[in-house]
Structure 1
Amino acid sequence: MTLELSDPPAATGGVHRIGDDAEAIELARALAEDFALEARTRDQERRLPYAEVERYSRSGLWAITVPRAHGGAGVSTHTLTRVIALVAAADGSLGHIPQNHFYALEALRVGGTEAQQAFFYQRALAGDRFGNALAEIGHKDYRRRTTLRRDGAAWRLDGRKFYCTGALFADWIPTLAVSQDESGENSHLVFVPADAPGVQVTDDWDGFGQRVTGSGSVHLQDVHVQPEWIVPFKASFERPTTIGPFAQIMHAAIDAGIGHGALQALLPWVREHARPWVDAGVERADQDPLLVAQIGDVHVRLRAADALIARAARIVDAARRAPDEQSVARASVAVAQAKAASTRASLLAANKLLELGGTSATLNRHGLDRYWRNARTHTLHDPVRWKYHAIGNYYLNGRIPPRHGAI
Structure 2
Amino acid sequence: MKVIVVGGGVAGAAGAIALRRIGAEVTVYEAYEDPAGQVGSFLSLASNGLRVLDELGCLEEVQRSGFDVARQRMWGSSGKLLGDVPRGRLTADPLHSVTLMRADLVAVLRARAARSGARIVTGERLVGAVTTQDGVRAEFASGRVAEADLLIGADGIWSTTRTVLDPSAPAPAYAGLYSISGVAENVGVEQGTFNMVFARNGAFIHLPAPDGSLWWSAQVAAAERPELNGVGDAEWLDRLSDLYRFEELPQAILKATTSVHRPTPMHVLPEVPVRHNDRIALVGDAGHPVGAGQGASMAIEDALVLAQTVAGTATIADGLRRYDQRRRARIAKLVRSAASNRDAKTAGPIARRLNDLIMPIFFRHFYEKATGWLYSHDLGTLSTPTEAPVRGRESGGRSTRPAF
TM-score when normalising by structure 1: 0.25
TM-score when normalising by structure 2: 0.25
Structure having the higher strand fraction is 2
Structure with higher RCO (Cα < 8 A, 6+ apart): 2
Structure having the higher helix fraction is 1
